[in-house]
Amino acid sequence: MLTESEVAQYHEAGYVVPEFRLSPDQVTRLREALDRVIAANPGRRPEQLVSVHISGREPGEPNPEGVVGDPEFMAACQDKAILDIVEQLIGPDIVLWGCQAFCKPPGDGMEVPWHQDGNYWPIRPLATCTLWIAIDDSLVENGCLRVIPGSHRSQSLTPHFKEVRTDLVLNQRVVDGEFDEAAAVDVELEAGQMSFHDVFLIHGSNANRSPRRRAGLAIRYMPATSLFDRSSSSDGISAGYAVYFSNRPIWLLRGEDKTGHNDFVVGH
Ligand SMILES: O=C(O)CCC(=O)C(=O)O
């Protein structure tokens, strides 16, 4: 569980790196799953492995978003100790709606531009806590996550512009002058450590020019007081790569659907 000061840091700074970490055995299992998924998806950049927690109908078949997933990632999403922490941050009604591997290979791992996650997500009201688990050591040299502490505080979206470049993971970037890049904090993590961040936090990461791989798993949890609004879905390549929200399965992992309108059948 998080300490009181860790919970306070999440709310004040928009992110927290807790003392809690995965066991070496859990890290090994995630690393092996990532290696399987990379091998099974040769046509995809490993920074853009969306919905890796969702398997296809048959083993080895892609999920509806075209990625061959792995059940090991779903097990991580449903880990009880992790959910206990998520509950401290977003309350008892928890919906799992996304999980993506961001693996930056050595030498040419792509940059993630400064962005707010919620810019293209169909969640109303916009709310999500992202858990980012380091599968490899994630350091300045290999392009660790970087955050702008406190940038979530207005709980509103900052203007973004579309930047189409083949060396970017995402085609959305916060407009220059909207934040102070000098305030950025490098979130360095050893494999097995993790961070949690708020949906409105401005964050990004540099390209990996080092000889060391940098892989992380981002798991997205929203409170079930929000609606995963499939009707407003920005399906297609709105992020710079294909995501299909309209038929993506989501799971109520704890509590109840307070909106009464979330659809936990579609896509299952
Ligand atoms: O892995 C990264 O460098 C970026 C991750 C990210 O943008 C996210 O989890 O929302």
Angle between helix axes 4-13 and 80-90 (nearest 10 degrees) is 60
Using the predicted structure, report yes or no on whether residue 173 has a pLDDT greater than 70: yes
- Nearest CA residue ID for atom 7, ligand 1: 204
Q: Tell me which of 33-47, 75-89, 158-172 is least confident.
A: 158-172
* Structure confidence at residue 242 (pLDDT): 77
Using the predicted structure, report yes or no on whether residue 171 has a pLDDT greater than 90: no
What does 8-25 look like in DSSP terms, one character per residue? Answer: HHHHHHSEE--S----HH
* Top-confidence residue, 93 or 109: 93
Mutational test site, ligand 1, from 52, 97, 112, max ligand atoms within 8 Å of CB: 112
Query: Which protein residues touch ligand 1 with a CB less than 6 Å away?
Result: 102, 112, 117, 130, 132, 145, 203, 205, 216, 218
* Structure confidence at residue 164 (pLDDT): 85
The stretch 45-70 carries a mean pLDDT of: 93
* Structure confidence at residue 267 (pLDDT): 92
The stretch 198-210 carries a mean pLDDT of: 97
* Ligand 1 atom closest to 144 (CA): 3
Report residue 124 CA to chain centroid gap.
18
Q: pLDDT digits over 227-236, tens only?
A: 999 887 667 6
CB-count exposure of residue 61 (10 Å: 0-12, 13-18, 19+): exposed
Q: How far is the CA of 58 from the centre of ligand 1 (A)?
A: 29
Q: How far is CA 91 from CA 153, 240, 255, in A?
A: 19, 32, 9
Count Cβ neighbours within 10 Å for each residue of 202-232 and write b for 16 or more, e otherwise: bbbbbbbebebbbbbbbbbbbbbebbbbbee
Helix (H) or strand (E) holding 216: strand 214-223
Pure H helices in 48-164? 71-77, 80-90
Report residue 157 CA to chain centroid gap.
18
Mean pLDDT of the chain: 94
Using the predicted structure, report yes or no on whether residue 129 has a pLDDT greater than 70: yes
Mutational test site, ligand 1, from 205, 213, 219, 221, max ligand atoms within 8 Å of CB: 205
Q: How far is the CA of 102 from the centre of ligand 1 (A)?
A: 7
- Nearest CA residue ID for atom 1, ligand 1: 102
Q: How far is the CA of 7 from the centre of ligand 1 (A)?
A: 21
* Structure confidence at residue 198 (pLDDT): 98
Q: How far is the CA of 5 from the centre of ligand 1 (A)?
A: 24
CA diameter of the chain:
49
**Which domains does the chain show, CATH number per domain?**
4-254 (2.60.120.620)
* Structure confidence at residue 170 (pLDDT): 86
* Top-confidence residue, 120 or 88: 88
